[in-house]
A and B are shown apart, each in its own frame.
Chain A
């Protein structure tokens, strides 16, 4: 299934705050997430124990899905962070942070922590 990802700044899921006051767990819990419409949640047969793998030409990332009725159907909203930037990219020498097409699959793989993400980028 394909969906559109938009990365946005959210005051409750702010990376500067998590880096300054949080720890590895809170970073992952607050930033390695994505908001989707409850209808999409249902369509994908998601459960609280399952995660979503988002993949496109730029890369791949596993995020914890959360329901939000204000998100349009077919869209995933991800707070701006290193997790979101695994699937953002470059077009025409400009950075693409919005309207990114991804294919999604439900997975039981866990969300990577910051150090694991950094290691995966470095590989």
Chain B
């Protein structure tokens, strides 16, 4: 039995300080992981794990040999003229690259989970610019942490351990000089870590835009805050918030799902990014940056892989084996039913999407590559089991702060179970008749 220091692929924080005791065949003990990380390692022996290829026969999924599943998948793809590829945020960058190759070969439309999650912030930053930071910089320098619509304690459980309770290289002190501000309509678990100097702002639901606009105005013109406050936050708290924003040496705003909502009337993300720029112009001592809290461990990876390959970070539409311009997204494609089969990799859109989209997705043949049971696995027509990246196979992943981290293989996957990249390669080769 040997101990190894490994990187956890339980969430996008990719903690690289996890100790695993293993004999090379099984994982005996996992030390230092959070609940999410522990569950990721437990997936290896989960009772509902998918370890056999399956195809739907007479409405029921049946276990079949790999080649039979491959033939069925190839038939579905060959009979399709508008295939859809979606997911790719819980696979390695190598598999993402292979997925793009498949999309190109079959003239498909490809998107990742990022487009409905934190990719929306990146897309908006194309108009405004964005000041990003890294986890290392936060650990070593940050003195102000703002969780805005983000419940970090439950979505990225060890983020606050690292960001808030750490003692940085460039700081004489640690937690005691760091201020945590939580802005959320719900008193989430993240409120539970607050100390006396921290600020809890329980904002009224959906009023973030009002708060951002008041802060922007106050940045330009002092004393523009009304006496009765804004969005359920009183004037004194608003002043304290602004004082921290403009006075921090190194502040970071963690943007959570709570801020991501359709921009029909107002553009919350755009205005927040503008506020950050405004503060940074006004800031004399340091700067404010943002960090996007995406959950899936390689959500940021797809943006990088697609951007570096085709100069576009989402919504890749291929025609005649070339990328073409499109204004469609995964949402509009499914909504318009502009697809005739789907290839889903490492995600569960039937659970994640509103039922009006799931219904349309379920109408067409669905090929799934995943290692976990899910609502999507119940309705799939073909299922390929995959190895768990970061445990049963290695690969590159981009951390929450867009820093590339190499994931290493710890144990072998179950017999006849390939990694995502190999499965996608086998599909490509079968389509090419190799």
Given contacts A121-B355, A121-B358, contact A94 B186 (CB under 8 A): no
Which residues of chain A are near B352, meaning CB under 8 Å?
80, 85
Contact between B372 and A6, CB atoms less than 8 A apart: no
Q: How many of chain A's residues have a CB under 8 angstroms from any CB in B?
A: 44
Contact between B186 and A6, CB atoms less than 8 A apart: yes
B356 beta carbon closer than 8 Å to chain A? yes
Given contacts A11-B157, A90-B331, contact A75 B262 (CB under 8 A): no
A10 beta carbon closer than 8 Å to chain B? yes
Contact between B186 and A8, CB atoms less than 8 A apart: yes
The 8 A CB mask of B350-364 against A (1 = contact, 0 = none) is 111111111100100
Partner of A118, one of B260, B264, B378: B378
Which residues of chain A are near B261, meaning CB under 8 Å?
94, 96-99
Contact between A9 and B154, CB atoms less than 8 A apart: yes
The 8 A CB mask of B241-277 against A (1 = contact, 0 = none) is 0000000000000000110111110000000000000
The docked-state distance in angstroms from the alpha carbon of A40 to that of B392 is 48
A72 beta carbon closer than 8 Å to chain B? yes
Nearest CB of A to B262, in Å: 4
Of chain B, the residue at the smallest CB distance from A83 is: B351
Q: Which of A14-22, A43-51, A103-111 contacts B (4 or more CB under 8 A)?
A: A14-22
The 8 A CB mask of B15-54 against A (1 = contact, 0 = none) is 0000000000000000000011001001100111100000
The docked-state distance in angstroms from the alpha carbon of A17 to that of B295 is 14
B340 beta carbon closer than 8 Å to chain A? no
The docked-state distance in angstroms from the alpha carbon of A122 to that of B379 is 10
Which residues of chain B are near A10, meaning CB under 8 Å?
154
The docked-state distance in angstroms from the alpha carbon of A14 to that of B40 is 12
Contact between B185 and A95, CB atoms less than 8 A apart: no
Partner of A70, one of B187, B205, B263, B329: B187
Partner of A20, one of B46, B206, B264: B46
Contact between B379 and A118, CB atoms less than 8 A apart: yes
The docked-state distance in angstroms from the alpha carbon of A82 to that of B263 is 24
Contact between B351 and A21, CB atoms less than 8 A apart: no
B173 beta carbon closer than 8 Å to chain A? no
The docked-state distance in angstroms from the alpha carbon of A33 to that of B157 is 23
Chain B, range 188-209, C-beta contacts under 8 Å to A: 188-189, 191, 202, 205-206
Which residues of chain A are near B116, meaning CB under 8 Å?
94-95
Nearest CB of A to B347, in Å: 10
Nearest CB of B to A71, in Å: 6
B289 beta carbon closer than 8 Å to chain A? no
Partner of B354, one of A4, A88, A92, A117: A88
The docked-state distance in angstroms from the alpha carbon of A57 to that of B362 is 21
Contact between B205 and A20, CB atoms less than 8 A apart: no
Given contacts A6-B185, A121-B358, contact A93 B48 (CB under 8 A): no
The docked-state distance in angstroms from the alpha carbon of A117 to that of B374 is 13
B373 beta carbon closer than 8 Å to chain A? yes
B151 beta carbon closer than 8 Å to chain A? yes
B375 beta carbon closer than 8 Å to chain A? yes
Of chain B, the residue at the smallest CB distance from A60 is: B355
Partner of A72, one of B46, B205, B262, B359: B205
Of chain A, the residue at the smallest CB distance from B374 is: A19
Which residues of chain B are near A98, meaning CB under 8 Å?
206, 257-258, 260-261
Partner of B331, one of A59, A71, A85, A93: A93
The 8 A CB mask of B327-366 against A (1 = contact, 0 = none) is 0010110010000000000001011111111110010000
Partner of A122, one of B331, B335, B362: B362
List 10 tightest A-B contacts by C-beta distance, closest first.
A70-B187, A94-B262, A91-B262, A20-B46, A88-B354, A11-B154, A99-B206, A82-B351, A92-B264, A19-B373
